[in-house]
Amino acid sequence: MTSTILVIEDEEGIAQLLQRLLEGAGYRVLVALDGETGYRMVLEERPDLVLLDIMLPGIDGWEVCRRIRQVSTVPILMLTAKTMTSDVVYGLELGADDYVTKPFEKDVLLARIRALLRRAGAPPATEQRVYRCGEIVLDLDQHTVTVAGRSIALTPLEFRLLSVMMRNPGRLLPHRYLLTQVWGPEYAEDIDNLKLYIHYLRRKIEPDPRHPRYILTEWGIGYRFNCE
């Protein structure tokens, strides 16, 4: 089944570029040139994913994001010229799922879209018990991790942290999200502790911990578990 992507972007050149790119990748594409229209199309067209520009005339992307979240859980990918991480964090707090910065890399954009659609479409009821990514295999029942066939000893917290990341391949995982999932909501601000455990994990699972292949850093925002 073809997924429908709604592009909310006021610059027509960029909107057309996105439309061609996404249609070329096999998606059905709808375009809205302002936020009001975009919000209305979310209600009327029920897209599978929204690609949302931040700088829009009238109501801006932040407000569109906030309004969409009041009525829908559709994945929202922010498209922004701004590289300020505080802006991205703000967007995530308003309910966006991920972001790409303009000018965007086509492959990165398509990978982010695939990751969000996969997650949205994944059946939540039957929980997967074995996760694979590159040479890493994590087994929730056996409580084991192997890298390239070799068994790796992890502490309970390291195991939990890795399992949260491997369940969300390719997805942006903000500091607060990881801390809440692994340590609990009362530890949501304890970023230094998270960094320490990421450091431990990288030393155990990365072929070259100084140039991570799996656990990628999103500066000032969080991490992304890379399986591509």
Cβ 51 to Ca ion, closest distance in Å?
Answer: 12
Question: Closest distance between Ca ion and the C-beta of residue 70, in Å?
Answer: 23
Return the residues of window 23-62 that contact Ca ion according to CB under 5 A. 53, 55
The residue with tokens 């018990």 is: 129
> Which residue stretch of 9-17, 90-98, 135-143, 161-169 sits at the interface with Ca ion (rule: CB under 5 A)?
9-17
Smallest distance from the beta carbon of 57 to Ca ion, in angstroms? 8
Residue 49 near residue 117, CB atoms below 8 Å: yes
Residue 98 is a binding residue for Ca ion (CB under 5 A) = no
**Minimum Å distance from CB 79 to Ca ion?**
8
Query: Which residue, 55 or 110, is less far from Ca ion as judged by CB?
Result: 55
Q: Does 17 bind Ca ion (CB under 5 A)?
A: no
Residue 53 or 97 with smaller CB distance to Ca ion: 53
> Given CA atoms 102, 97, 90, 191 in this order, what sign does their dihedral have?
negative
CB of 25 to Ca ion, least distance (A): 22
Nearest to 19 by CA among 81, 11, 28: 28
Contact 38, 12 (CB under 8 A): no
Instruction: Report residue 139 as tokens.
Output: 């087994």
The Cβ of residue 2 has, within 10 Å, a number of other Cβ atoms equal to 8
Q: What is the C-alpha to C-alpha distance for residues 9 and 32, in angstroms, rounded to an integer?
A: 6
Containing H/E element for 201? Answer: helix 191-205
Q: How many residues belong to the site for Ca ion (CB under 5 A)?
A: 3
Among residues 4, 10, 28, 174, the one that binds Ca ion under rule CB under 5 A:
10
How far is Cα of residue 149 from the mean position of the Cα atoms in its chain?
A: 28
Instruction: List 76's β-bridge partners, or say none.
Output: 50
Does the protein bind Ca ion through residue 140 (CB under 5 A)?
no
Instruction: Identify which of residues 68 and 152 has a Cβ nearer to Ca ion in the complex.
Output: 68
Examine residue 89 and tell whether it contacts Ca ion (CB under 5 A): no
Which stretches of the chain bind Ca ion, using CB under 5 A? 10, 53, 55
